[in-house]
Structure 1
Amino acid sequence: SGENNVDFLDSGCAMRKTVTRQNSKLGGESSKSDFIIWEIEVPKELVGRLIGRQGRFMSFLRQASGAKIYVSTLPYFHDSQVCHIEGSPHQVEKVLSLIGKKFKELSLTNIYALPPPAPLTLHSLLMTAWLFLPDGVTVEVVVANQVDAGHMFLQQHTHPTFHVLRSLDQQMYACYSQPEIPTLPTPVEVGIICAAPGLDGAWFRAQVISYFEETNEVELRYVDYGGYEKVKIDTLRQIRSDFLSLPFQGAEVLLDNVVPLPDEDRFSSEADAAVSEMTRGAVLVAQVTNYDSATGLPLIQLWNLMGDEVVSINRTLVERGFAQWLDY
């Protein structure tokens, strides 16, 4: 059939059903409840035409198909952007058909469904493995980890893939509680994804950011729950390829327009505490408004919906004297 199903087979919780070949028939016997995500890479020079003047072509695609569709800017791809489509197979097929008619030269291959690496190979993953915040669209988020007042990791808890994270956590717990799972080969390759131990037997997906050969340590970035940590290499384990199917849920972001006070090179502990107090346990709304030129990370505006009141985290931090506002 040309289909490539990426499912957690024995968990009773199929992550997603996606089709990798553009000539596969999307319709057929699929049930109406089937939900798929399809992402196509769009060269920068075509993005304007795809969105249309004042977003008209995007609006037309949404109305004609009923699918959710937006263009996301990935800071890691300088020469292209990603068109994200989600809906039933019929809705997605309709969108692809309309895009294909207008853009004969555009590949409609689903980059979201590219198969993960073969078992226990340790290639650096495509950055599309991350679940990025969509560009210029407000989304509900929660703070998973706060590095400092202006630097945090967000999770999109309303995204259709988010509920699978609990299932993945349970499967990793079961897998890595077994003895004799292979450790990482050394020297460790910077950029690889591995399994890292947490509290109470939990295991988390993490990316190696730096390798310190003299101390036999690495610095990790936790890709689902956020944060950085330096750990001994022998505590880490190779990751099973099926544990790489779920997009990484932790979106690393910086607050836009907010910088430390004059003559300070970092935010104060009071600033960190203020942001933590405003965001802890709260449902927030975030919007990507820019990208940081030094790191490529998204710059965001962040709001807390306190009752009927909408409170800007960015502006409140400045108004309370913990940061300064910087306009570009």
Structure 2
Amino acid sequence: MCIVLYFLQLLLPQDVFVEVIVSRVEAGHHLFILQHKHPSYQALPTLTQHMQLCYSQPGCPSLPTPLEVGVVCAAPVAGCGWQRAQVIQYHTEFGTAQIRYVDNGGYDTVNSATLRQIRSDFVTLPFQAAEVLLDNITPLPGEVEFSLEARVALEELTANVALILKVTGSQDGLPLVHIWKQTGDEVVLLNSLLAERELCSWFDTP
């Protein structure tokens, strides 16, 4: 049985500060975060272990083709066992699918034959990774996208450290956020820090 679910995402609370960690940086303003102190997060290692035991056995059914956009599945990850994923696009002519990893974040393009149908008991835990955009920043003048340098800087600023996040709005269906980091005795807004380093431009919310 294939499962298409859109309501399993662990939502970010509105109008409050929440402690998070960053699991993946996609671009200089685009990242995935985890609410690592949420009670459901503590169940993720057990789920991952059970999925590994299940999908390391032969005979797990593949996803039927053509793949349905939005379907939740199990996807193999090199060196990381199996993870829950959602099909974002399916390319019939190449036999490939673009997927989003729903617990650790990030996108990948994979051979659709490697994806497996997911057991219903593996989708009771909310999807842990929330995809967000940093508010109040845009690419530098004359640039269409954020630079590689901005992404690398954001990765370095957010690596292996707890951060404070607050939702400030939404754009293209994704939460806009401010993220703060404790640096010594100072709490720094990373959005503005990237602008101060001239890696992006700052704009004030109307």
TM-score normalized by the length of structure 1: 0.61
Give the conservation status (yes or no) of the 8 Å contact 1:317–1:323: yes
Tell me the SS of whatever aligns to 2:88. strand
- Report 1:209-220 matches (<5 A): 209-220=88-99
Matched with 2:22 is 143
Structure 1 gaps, min length 5: 1-120
Give the conservation status (yes or no) of the 8 Å contact 2:2–2:63: no
Matched with 1:297 is 174
Structure 1 residues 201, 139: CA separation in 2 closer, same or farther (over 3 Å shift)? closer
More helix by share: 1
Give the conservation status (yes or no) of the 8 Å contact 1:177–1:201: no
Partner deviation per Cα, 1:99-158 (whole Å, 9 max, x = no partner): xxxxxxxxxxxxxxxxxxxxxx2242132x100111111100000111011000000000
1:206 aligns with 2:57: no
More strand by share: 2
Give the conservation status (yes or no) of the 8 Å contact 2:3–2:118: no
The alignment of Structure 1 onto Structure 2 pairs a total of residues equal to 205
Tell me the SS of whatever aligns to 2:117. coil
Superposed displacement of residue 327, structure 1: 2.5
Letter in 2 for 1:124: V
User: What is the CA–CA distance in structure 1 between the aligned matches of 2:181 and 2:134, rounded to whole Å?
Assistant: 14
Letter in 1 for 2:188: V
Matched with 1:20 is none
Matched with 2:196 is 319
User: What is the CA–CA distance in structure 2 between the aligned matches of 1:200 and 1:223, rounded to whole Å?
Assistant: 17
Matched with 1:255 is 134
1:157 aligns with 2:36: yes
User: What is the CA–CA distance in structure 2 between the aligned matches of 1:255 and 1:162, rounded to whole Å?
Assistant: 23
Superposed displacement of residue 165, structure 1: 0.3
User: What is the CA–CA distance in structure 2 between the aligned matches of 1:315 and 1:260, rounded to whole Å?
Assistant: 13
Structure number with greater CO (CA < 8 Å, separation at least 6) is 2
1:175 aligns with 2:88: no
The structure having more radius of gyration, on CA atoms, is 1
Tell me the SS of whatever aligns to 1:226. coil
- Report 1:76-91 matches (<5 A): none
Matched with 1:124 is 4
Matched with 1:310 is 187
Matched with 2:161 is 282
User: What is the CA–CA distance in structure 2 between the aligned matches of 1:210 and 1:263, rounded to whole Å?
Assistant: 31
Tell me the SS of whatever aligns to 1:162. helix
Structure 2 gaps, min length 5: none
Partner deviation per Cα, 1:245-277 (whole Å, 9 max, x = no partner): 100000000000111101111111111111111
Partner deviation per Cα, 1:304-327 (whole Å, 9 max, x = no partner): 112321011100000010000123
Tell me the SS of whatever aligns to 1:218. strand
Give the conservation status (yes or no) of the 8 Å contact 2:137–2:203: yes
Matched with 1:192 is 71
Q: After TM superposition, where is structure 1 displaced by more than 4 Å over at least 4 residues in a row?
A: none
TM-score normalized by the length of structure 2: 0.97
Matched with 1:238 is 117
Matched with 1:222 is 101
Superposed displacement of residue 201, structure 1: 5.7
